[in-house]
Structure 1
């Protein structure tokens, strides 16, 4: 067959929105045969499209896996749903901050200078968000485990939340600070991509440990009350109370005695 090779260039950088728009316009051009577009701009466009196409399936599998894991851990259905909801809030806050700082370029002067392209690299954005999600789930398991332990001893929901936060808050904050300091050091790099990863992970750790775990999670659990621990398969007494009854006495922690 016959074909033609045309070399074209744009004044826009390959990873900008203008360059990606140009790629789509060329591909939509009417031609006697198929139109194939290569180059760095086309590569960026195709990568973003493939990532976005696979994202719904990835999120579905991820959500189902986390739901099963947290349900097995907490023996309830409501707490895992709450965990996924607050994790989504945390990721949304991180995404918004990254858009303002890097896509809009409002953090360029603060972060040592870089050229904002008006877009975010899709693969690197997902990389940062998945790390932030892993940290979020890690803190959630740690906090929920302590709260559930207090609840199973016979405490009411509000007291269990207060005790859980009091016993884990300092440790979670210290862990988040360690992650934030170590990754924020990447912001001193002259490579914008390293700045993006470092700031994104640092924000994820701090936002989740301080705002989400310290404020949002306790507020939601207090509002839900005992519904937090509802499960269709667990309608009997709580394990801590059953254990106390078998010993022939009340659980000391449930009554507050020492």
Structure 2
């Protein structure tokens, strides 16, 4: 960890500038440029709204039982909208994060540039997009649900999500640089991960107690449910202590593995790339 922090020392301004340039580079040649980062999620949200709120009428409203609270009904679009916003960030962090060292190999092979900062500035660029989408989502929440003190928990969940998936790239990006098969595997399983996570359904609402507990193992559920805690459920982050404990263990494991894999592979990256 000290190695990674040392690499970041003195690169704060460069990380922000490179994060901005990363957005511009990603959408270079497009007429509306970085606005595509918002248009694509907006179109996806529209498709899901049309399919589930208009097409499948029985899912227009959901009866939610989240445990420790009175069951209540909510419009499906509101439920889906709040849960899918963190998913866009998570999906890009996993799929694009695994590719970043291969895409930005010039910084490793031609320029003396700290490898870990590449993963940081690309993750910051995704955070910029996430915050823009969050602004739209929060405007919707204010209009339909109203403000709540629980909204402030966003400033706990969002940094945690950023750090967790940044630490994940410390493992996945070097491993993908060594093996394109690993990178392809990540892309292949993302669709399955989407449906195994409680983005389109209530991960607390299974009839089987075993399944309800099993869903706690998926860290994506922690963030999706966390955002709903902030803006829909209006309940504190510690309401489900088991969920918090499981995530804390996973956080420590991912962080430790990230540091281990990064330090193990970083010196071999220039030769591999």
Question: TM-score, with normalisation over the residues of structure 1?
Answer: 0.31
Select the structure with the greater relative contact order (CA < 8 A; seq sep ≥ 6).
Answer: 2
Bigger share in helix: 2
Question: TM-score, with normalisation over the residues of structure 2?
Answer: 0.30
